[in-house]
Structure 1
Amino acid sequence: MMTVRLDKNKHDRHYFDCGVKPLNNYLRVMASQQSQKDNTRTFVLEDSSQPERVIGYYTLTMTPIDLGALPDKLQKKHQNASSGGLIARLAVDKRYAKQGYGEWLLIDALNRLLQASETVAFPVVIVDAKDGALGFYEKFGFTPFIDSTNKLFLTIADIRASISD
């Protein structure tokens, strides 16, 4: 399996249905526009038998960090940091649900962000867990911010350590 950048001329975005309207609409309407404006990058996992079909996708960008919402130890360690990597969206089509694709997409997104952090340093990856996804992210080691239970982070150091294991 391999993710590729979303190609509006190749990928049938209207077929995609994860069951969450805002996530479906983002892929259908906004993802290509935001990529062209260099605001985000959306990567899709294609169905190998029908490459125009999107099994799932994720969108990456950068976001400001509220250092005060991190644990004290991280606040001190990263006191000069101003931004982190953001997994802005992650969704799997309902027809492919419960087959491990969400986990695969998350790991792929973390690998891409780890690679990016080697070029442009940032200390954390952030997600906003929507629609009951909190447990999914916590299973992979994400920790809630002090001021928001649905906004979670994972340090680049932890990602690096888990990948080298």
Structure 2
Amino acid sequence: MKWILFFVFSGIVVFVTTLYFNLGGHKDVILSEVNTDGFHVIYKLHDGPYHKIINTIESVEAWAAKNNIPCPQTFGEYLDDPRSADESRLRSHGGCILSSPVSTVEQGLIQRFILPGHYLKASFEGAPSIGPFKVYPKAEDWARSHRIQFTGPVIEVYTVKGPHSMVTEYYFPMPK
């Protein structure tokens, strides 16, 4: 019986360790204060759990590809605090960051310019799915230690570096 428990426990440890490294849990979060030039974005509205925004982002990417519009980076703008709102009522925007505005967009897409601002930028090379557990707490600790409060929705910018590599940049708006 103790051998069975040993193998089960060992299997769980191996699984958790593999998952931790595959998701990039061992990678550092790099924080810096930045001023942005703003972002030209095209997006769709998304209501519901934030972890399900990927379909929204992919549909905007598909529209951009079909219309020969470069979409080198995608983004999510998260409007509500998931700790204080019901998961089904969470609102977000998901889509592409563009180098300049486009002349026409299809119905259901929204184009806008996110104004320049002052942000705490957190760069993380792990999976965006662990950002809420690794990046957000670090940013919140930084804000507490600097006695500031973030002033608006968080913008996550996703840049694919290769088949198994991506960087997520989290922009937490703050007062100047």
TM-score normalized with structure 2 length: 0.30
| Bigger Rg, which one | 2
TM-score, L = length of structure 1: 0.31
Structure with higher helix content: 1
